[in-house]
Amino acid sequence: MSGVPVVCDPDQTVAESLRETLSGVARVFVGLERLQAHLSTQFVEDTIVFGPGVGEAEAFALADYMRVHRPSLGVVLVRTEVTTPLLQDALRAGIREVVDHRDTLGIKAAVQRSAHLSATLRDQSSGPQVPAQGRPVTGRVVTVFSAKGGCGKTTLATNLAAALADRGRRQVVIVDLDLAFGDVAIALQLFPARTIADAVPMAQSLDAEAVQAILTPHSPGLSALVAPVDPGSGESVPPSLVTRILDLLREQFDYVVIDTPPAFDEQVLAAFDASDVVALIATLDVPALKNLKLTLETLDLLRYQKEKWRVVLNRADSKVGLALSEVEKTLRTEISAHIPSSRDVPAAINRGVPIMLDDAKHPVSLSIRQFAERHVISAPAGAKDRAVPADLRNDRRSLLRKRRPRPV
C-alpha cells in the first residue's frame, strides 16, 4: 500500500494551505498531540509535513524518534526562514528536507522525494534481493577521471549520468568530487540548497535519509550531490566520508556517476576503490595523452584492476596529425569510446542542458549512450574488489605520495 502525507501545524489556516499545496491529498492535524496519537495506531503515512508553527525542538525530537523506530516515515520541515545552522541541526535530527514556506513547488517536490525514499525503505525492510551469484543487489559506481583539465570530463560525466537515467527508467545520482572547483551544478543548471559539505557534521551518524536530504533533483531519474559552493569547504570532506557516502548511494541508486578533479588525491582514490568502471578521458593532444599514460601507469602501480579501466577519447575526430592507431600503440591500451567534436556541446553546456537530453540522436549523444550500454550497463560488476582491505588502501595512499602525477 502506498503511503500518504500528513500535515501538522497549530494554525488551522496554515495547515489547510499546506494541504492544498499537496493537491489536497494530505490529512491535517492541528496540534502535535493529535498527530502523535494518530501515529501510534496508524502506519500508512510516509511523510509528516511540519508547518512553521511547530517548534523546532518538537519537530527534531519526533524526527529523531521516527528515524530509529519507524525509518520509513520521513519528516519535511517548512520554515519562514531557512538558515545554514537550521539545516545542519535538522539533518542531524533526521529531518529529510527543510523548505521555505513560500516555495510551494519546493514543498511538493520534497514530499514526493520523501515518498519515493519511504517506498524504497519499505521494500528494503522486506529483505535484500539476492541474485543467483549470492550477493545483495547494489548499484554500480562509475568514476570519470582525467589528470588534465579541459578534456571534457564534466561533460562526459553529466551526459553519461543522463544516458544511464534514461529519462526516469533508472535511478541515477551524479557526485561532484571536485571539491574546490566542481562544475556539475553549473553544467546541469542546478541551484542546490545543500552540498556534500553538509554531510560533514553528520559524518559519525550518516544514514540513507541524511544522504537523500543533501541531494538535488535534476530530471526524471537523475539527482546530484554537488560540490561545495565555497572552495575552502572541500578541505573538510575526508576520504572516509566519501567512502561512506558512496556506500549509501549505491544502496539507493542503480548507478552512481562520479566527476573528479584533474588530480590524484585521497578522495579520488576513495572513488576508485568503490568503482566498478573507471572512465579515463583524454583528447588528441600530446599533453593530455602524456597525462593519460602517467595515469595508466599510476593505476597499475596502485594495483587497481585493469578490467575496470575504460579509455575514452574526446573530440576524437579532430585533425591534429595524431593517428588513433598510434595512440593505442603508445598507450598499450584499447580505446573504448570515441566521442566526436561538435560546437553543439558547448552551446548545450551554456544552456545548462546535457546534450543527451537536448538531442538524444546527436552524434555525441549516440557515442556516449553506446559507451554506457557496452561498458557500464552490460559490463560485469567488479564486486569482488569493492571491500578493499585496509592494508591495500594504506599501501595505495603511501605509493601515491611517492609518485603523484603532475598535470600539465
Q: What is the DSSP string of 195-227?
A: -GGGGGGGGGG--HHHHHHT-EEEETTEEEEPP
Q: Residue 242 is part of which domain span?
A: 140-402
pTM beyond cutoff 0.85: no
Tell me, what's the pLDDT at 96? Answer: 86
What CA–CA distances, in Å, run from 319 to 285, 286, 329, 392? Answer: 10, 13, 19, 42
Residues facing 143 on adjacent strands: 258, 278
| CA–CA distance, 34 with 171 (Å, rounded to integer) | 37
Point out the residues of the chain with pLDDT beneath 50.
1, 125-137, 382-385, 407-408
Residue 134 lies in a domain: no
In this structure, the answer to whether residues 151 and 87 fall within a common structural domain is: no
Tell me, what's the pLDDT at 138? Answer: 76
DSSP secondary structure code for residue 294 in this structure: H
Tell me, what's the pLDDT at 380? Answer: 59
Residue 99 lies in a domain: yes
Domain boundary residue among 97, 125, 153?
Answer: 125
Total number of domains in the chain:
2
Going by C-beta distance under 8 Å and a sequence separation of 6 or more, which residues neighbour residue 102? none
What CATH number is attached to the domain comprising 150?
3.40.50.300
Tell me, what's the pLDDT at 29? Answer: 92
Residue 315 lies in a domain: yes
In this structure, the answer to whether residues 299 and 327 fall within a common structural domain is: yes
DSSP secondary structure code for residue 54 in this structure: S
Domain boundary residue among 125, 157, 176?
Answer: 125
Q: How many CB atoms lie within 10 A of CB 343?
A: 7
Measured in whole angstroms, how far is the alpha carbon of residue 255 from the centre of its chain? 9
Rg of the chain in Å (alpha carbons): 23
